[in-house]
Structure 1
Amino acid sequence: MPGSCLRSCSARRLACSYQLVEAYDETYYRVFTTIEETVRQDLAASRRHLAEAEMQQAARSRRHEHNTG
């Protein structure tokens, strides 16, 4: 039964892929996101994307000055 053997190998590879993703999540990604959240809380009052928000505000100010001046 070559077809069933092929399906079995595919199922094992898929199971290994899920195990790899779970291991990555538990040993790296979750640790990194926890640290990132702690740092953001300490330094930025939990606000995200501060640099982008500052650039947006600066652009709005320039447009407002241009339109009113």
Structure 2
Amino acid sequence: MNDVENLDSNVQLILSKIKDLEIKLQSISNALESMEENQRKLEKKVDDAEGSIMASVNSYSDPCRYIG
């Protein structure tokens, strides 16, 4: 009987550890999704900033073409 109880206890411990790992993996997955979303937002801001900078450069350089 003792072996059966010990085995049952070990199985329960393993199942508990598996559940803990599932929770940790879900947390990591959520963090990765959040990071990916933040990266997409940052890339969009960078693209917008690049477009704005190029528009500013072009607006200032256009008059210079006619002067020179």
TM-score, normalised to structure 2's length? 0.52
Runs of at least 5 residues in structure 1 that lack an aligned partner in the other structure: 46-69
Q: CA RMSD in A?
A: 1.4
Higher RCO (CA 8 Å, separation ≥ 6 residues): 1
Pairwise mapping of residues 1-69 of structure 1 onto structure 2 (< 5 A)? 1-26=26-51, 28-43=52-67, 45=68
Q: Which runs of 4+ in 1 moved over 6 A?
A: none
Runs of at least 5 residues in structure 2 that lack an aligned partner in the other structure: 1-25
Higher helix fraction (1 or 2): 2
Instruction: Report the count of equivalent residues.
Output: 43
